[in-house]
Every structure is written in C-alpha cells, then in structure tokens.
Amino acid sequence: MQNSHKRVDAHLSSLGYCSRSEAKKFLKTFRVCVNGVRVFETNKKAYHSEVTVDEIALDPEKLTILMNKPSGVICSHDDVGVLIYSMLPERWQKRNPKMSTIGRLDGDTTGAILLTDDGSLNHKLSSPKSDMPKLYEVTLAQALRGDEEKLFSSGALTLKGETKPLHHAKMEILGETLVRLEIHEGKYHQVKRMFGAVGNKVIKLHRVKFANYAVEDLAFGEYKILDEAFLILE
Ligand code: URA
C-alpha cells in the first residue's frame, strides 16, 4: 500500500479535500490531525497513514473502483451530456491525478467499468496487449443465423476498416436473440461491429464482467472500491 510522506496541504489537495490555496482555511474548519495531534500549519509533513480529518482516515492514495454503468452516461472527461465522473462523490471528482475509466463503454452500454487514478494500472489494463477478458450480454434485433459462434471463435473475422482479424471470441447462446460474448480486445464499438458483420444489430449491450470483476451485486450507478489486495488481475 502506498504511504507517501509529504506536506499536509499536498495530501489534502491531491485527494480532493480542498485546493492548496484553501488548505489554511480547511485546517481551521476541520479537525485535521497528524498522529492524533491537531495541525494548523499547511507545511507540516506527514505520512498519509498518519493524517485524519475529523477523526476519519484520509481516502486511499490510489483509488480504483468498479461501477455498474447505467445507460446514457458517457465515459469521457470533456464531452456533452452526463459524464460518468459526475456519479462519483464530489471529493473524488477533485482528485489529482484524476479518476479515469479503464477503457470505455458506449453511452448506451451498461455494466462493468473500472475507474482509477492509478495511471500505470490504467495503462496496463487498457493497453491492447493486456488481454483482459470482457464478458458481454448482447440482445440482438434479429434471430441468430447460425454461423456466428463458429465465425467469432475462428480468429478469422476482420471488421470493416481494420487490417487484422479479431482474436477468437467465445459466444454462448442464451436464446434466439440473446447471447453472451467474451472478447479479449477492446476495439471501437467492437461488439456492435461484430454483429453488424453477420447482418444483425445489437439493441442492448451489458458488460457482465471486466476481468474478474462482475457487477451482478451492484445496481446501475452503484460502485465499490477495489481493495489493492483484490487488484490481482493476471
Ligand atoms: N462493444 C461495443 O460495441 N460497445 C461497447 O460499449 C463495448 C463493446
């Protein structure tokens, strides 16, 4: 677990409690203690684990959460509409480095998405080499035609505009118009384009699981903090 040693105002501002310039006032308003002793000096140095605000430990230095993304929410920092970050507590929205999604889901896609302020974790998990399994439940406009499972698992399907074929994907049929699809890549609109390639259309897309993280116990919009000890994804 990270436990950095730095000025109290630096701890508070990087975790979104207040800005550096507001720190003096924050220390007057809230009971900020280092090892149980109240501090008023912004330049007092302390380990993260030693600082409390109103008797409560600081938020974790690295924060990674799993959210069950609702439909209509956008995975972007600077788009129009309801951004996914607006669903986080205000303090988390002010963290520096910022919380960012690990990869993206389309606005109308629901389900499992990780958000983190840990840049190296984000890079590792969203890189094309990361190979993280992503499991989707897909509702289709038309009944399956019969060859989809074979084609998707063949590793021979090249999507329009791509030069290389997709890796093999596993498809499980749940009904005439309902399947589960596990992919290991994350190309733009990949699932929708895969079904487009077989003459169908995705009308509902829900990501059941990202790596080991499933959202079945979370309502739409709910999230849970992933303990660092849990973050063993390989
Ligand atoms: N594939 C898609 O087409 N959309 C998503 O949001 C995720 C995977």
Class of the domain covering 133-210: alpha beta
Calculate the dihedral angle through the C-alpha atoms of 192, 178, 173, 180, rounding to the nearest 10 degrees: 50
| pLDDT tens digits, one per residue of 63-116 | 999 999 999 999 999 988 999 999 999 999 999 999 999 999 999 999 999 999
CA–CA distances in Å: residue 213 to residues 132, 164, 202, 226: 11, 29, 23, 9
| pLDDT tens digits, one per residue of 6-24 | 999 999 999 999 999 999 9
CB neighbours (10 Å) of residue 125? 21
Q: How far is the CA of 190 from the centre of ligand 1 (A)?
A: 5
**Is 79 one of the catalytic residues?**
no
pLDDT at 225 over 50: yes
Q: Check residue 231 and give its pLDDT.
A: 59
pLDDT tier for residue 199 given thresholds of 50, 70 and 90: very high
Q: Which of 54, 106, 147, 227 is labelled catalytic? A: 106
Kindly give the number of the ligand 1 atom that is closest to the alpha carbon of 106.
Answer: 6
Report the topology of domain 5-57: 3.10.290
Gap between the Cα atoms of 135 and 204, Å rounded: 14
Q: How far is the CA of 72 from the centre of ligand 1 (A)?
A: 14
* Domain boundary assignment for the chain: 5-57, 64-128+213-230, 133-210
What are the residue ranges of helices labelled H in 41-126?
A: 90-93, 119-126
CA–CA distances in Å: residue 116 to residues 34, 101, 126: 27, 6, 12
What are the residue ranges of helices labelled H in the chain?
A: 8-14, 23-29, 90-93, 119-126, 148-154, 190-196
Region 64-128+213-230: CATH code: 3.30.70.580
- Does the CA dihedral 176-177-178-182 come out positive or negative? positive
CB neighbours (10 Å) of residue 31? 12
Under DSSP, the state recorded for 84 is G
* pTM for the model: 0.93
Say yes or no: do domains 64-128+213-230 and 133-210 share a fold.
Answer: yes
**Minimum CA distance residue for ligand 1 atom 7:** 105
